[in-house]
């Protein structure tokens, strides 16, 4: 999915948004479970926007790290 030559011309903007949102949720889940010893987290108590927001922070931190190197 990181192919820079990917043609998204036939996708609707909603589809592109869903792809981005799913990626942010996945990154958020990885970040939350990273520090959990057994890898289990109850997501039921999190607000619906929590995982995408955590995913955005992960991306921002990676960009910041790349800028400093």
Whether 7 is in a domain gets the answer: no
For residue 39, the model assigns a pLDDT of 74
Alpha carbon distance 32, 38 (integer Å): 12
Whether 31 is in a domain gets the answer: yes
Rg of the chain, C-alpha, whole Å:
15
Residues lower than pLDDT 70 in the chain: 1-5
Q: Would you list the DSSP string of 5-24?
A: T---TTS-HHHHHHHHHHHH
11 sits in the region (left: phi over 0; alpha: psi -120 to 50; else beta) called beta
Beta strands (DSSP E) in 1-69 are: none
Whether 5 is in a domain gets the answer: no
For residue 3, the model assigns a pLDDT of 54
Q: Which H helix or E strand runs over 25?
A: helix 13-34
For residue 43, the model assigns a pLDDT of 82
Range of the domain at 22: 13-35+45-68
Whether 2 is in a domain gets the answer: no
What total of structural domains would you count in the chain?
A: 1
């Amino acid at each position: 999915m990181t192919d820079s030559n990917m043609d998204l011309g036939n996708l609707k903007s909603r589809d592109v948004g869903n792809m981005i949102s799913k990626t942010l949720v996945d990154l958020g889940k990885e970040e939350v479970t990273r520090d959990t010893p057994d890898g289990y987290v109850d997501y039921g108590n999190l607000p619906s926007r929590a995982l995408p927001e955590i995913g955005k922070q992960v991306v921002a931190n990676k960009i910041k790290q790349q800028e400093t190197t």
